[in-house]
Structure 1
């Protein structure tokens, strides 16, 4: 069987932090100059709610999304699914949490020739954080603490209990981009961790009979894979080892015309009690649809560029300067 496959080259976007540094005060006749300057300057501090409200803009909730057609695989994560427009998907993501803020991801995407056009190849979403002034000493202390945690192989954690984050990959002609994959990570609230078994049962209740379930180290993994005609792939299918997805929002996705919808889930237990779940990752990708969208976009951009060059030639025939011989 001939397989056409493209891999998404994704880069993990870094978090940006506004940093401040202490400066020594200067004594003046009216008292301490440093204290006076601080009192005169307005504070930039803001709560997470204020930061989110300023960044989110208009959000239309609840999301008016059509349900899955009878007999078709379930393809959404909290109402966000492949096929949504960029704007619809971003709105649906923000509807899943009042503190979630969407950020375009221009540093990760598929390696295609855009012919100079700007494509929105995806966005991430995270909880807004309070904006708090940090001294140079505090920043250094945080960096040292993070470095020490990495050196001790501390548990991976870039979020707090109760928070979630998303990544949605999109593709299409400029202004017409649609979601082709969706991934979400949810950290359960402290002291309210569900059992690993109950999380797995909830996944099976939503997505149905799984193609595969296995344990990779401490992580419990489930996969639902379908061919392009919507038929569940089983162990006897030649596509069993080929059609895979990515549950981690920080991972890349592969696209194949031979695979249909793929849902992947990781249930990660609490370090102190493996019977309880610490966080959940779920990802869904429409491989055949995404592959077609990528192919159509590449061809559309190429045709647009060819028309641009042809137009330049036509204009040259009317306005070009004649050579001086």
Structure 2
């Protein structure tokens, strides 16, 4: 359930969480993105949906309105502020800016509004808000017979029953999730996360990826090395004033991030920007990386955004009810008693 995580924190919960199982994930639920329309959120014409199509054709259809490079008009981060982006996508961008930036990062990505996940706002009509979007690599559209569909369902049932590990991403694929908050048309990014599974001929080493992350994001709050039962993890946590949290800070260990696009985030006014990266080594060679997750969240900014959005929604609802009462008092007939 979505809702309050604590008296001083909001929690984003989701309906798409997948449990980690070794280097794979168990039965992930993939959003239906192949027919999603970017930026506008509209679905493309249903004409021709019964015909098979390659991944390139599916992406081309879904990305009809995408213009690259992405145009960003939101103010850039301050010159001395912490690096807070994932491939150029960061908290504070508008919904449309972030979606276009994500789509422009790879010509095969398609995106659409996220459903089944979000913050549980304590305000009327909150369910109508866009609270983020998901993006994945387009998949070929294959027209199947009834027999083939039945066979697929049977295989899925057997796999679930045996708790089989099924990879959510193919080599060379990636996926994104961005959480947004704000009134309709005013949504801004609160958090963003990206996962990439590397192609077999482009597999980086643990050391090279770690060095690249440190070069981009700087000195970390936490640098967790790989060990028995622990994955390599880097975290850069800042307080609301933009100061790096270190082991001597009272906030050390309290301001956590989220690097998994399928996971939720927690927002607290006590924490600022938190960047987190997690590396998943190959099973056959732990010195090589099978996939990487990187996420960033603006905890204090997101907390303020939710609070102000709740207040604005409540005010809008109060105005609506007041206008309805005024209209009824002028137009209604006297009751028959």
Specify if TM > 0.5. yes
Partner of 2:36: none
Match of 1:281 among 285, 293, 302: 293
Is contact 1:168-1:182 (8 Å) kept? yes
* Structure 2: 5+ residue stretches without partners: 1-5, 18-28, 33-47
Partner of 1:7: 11
Question: What is the CA deviation profile of residues 112-134 of structure 1, one whole-angstrom value per residue up to 9, with x for unaligned ones?
Answer: 13412510001100111110122
Match of 2:109 among 85, 88, 100: 100
Map 1:163-312 → 2, pairs under 5 A: 163-214=173-224, 215=226, 217=229, 219-312=231-324
In angstroms, what is the RMSD of aligned CA positions? 2.4
Is contact 1:218-1:269 (8 Å) kept? no
Name the CA shift for 1:43/1:3 in 2 (closer, same or farther; >3 Å): closer
Which SS does the other structure have where 1:230 is aligned?
coil
Larger Rg: 1
Size of the aligned set, in residue pairs, is 302
Question: What is the CA deviation profile of residues 74-132 of structure 1, one whole-angstrom value per residue up to 9, with x for unaligned ones?
Answer: 01101111101111111111011101111111210001134125100011001111101
Which SS does the other structure have where 1:273 is aligned?
coil
Q: What is the alpha-carbon distance in structure 1 between the residues aligned to residue 287 and residue 163 of structure 2? A: 22
Partner of 1:30: none
Q: Once the 2 structures are TM-superposed, how far is the Cα of residue 211 of structure 1 from its aligned partner?
A: 0.3
* Structure 1: 5+ residue stretches without partners: 18-40
User: Does 2:69 correspond to 1:62?
Assistant: yes
Is contact 2:13-2:263 (8 Å) kept? no
Q: What is the alpha-carbon distance in structure 1 between the residues aligned to residue 215 and residue 11 of structure 2? A: 31
Q: Once the 2 structures are TM-superposed, how far is the Cα of residue 200 of structure 1 from its aligned partner?
A: 0.8
Which SS does the other structure have where 2:134 is aligned?
strand
Moved more, 96-105 or 153-162: 153-162
Q: What is the alpha-carbon distance in structure 2 between the residues aligned to residue 6 and residue 300 of structure 1? A: 18
Partner of 2:55: 48
User: Does 2:83 correspond to 1:79?
Assistant: no
Question: What is the CA deviation profile of residues 228-249 of structure 1, one whole-angstrom value per residue up to 9, with x for unaligned ones?
Answer: 0000000111111110010000
Q: What is the alpha-carbon distance in structure 2 between the residues aligned to residue 16 and residue 309 of structure 1? A: 37
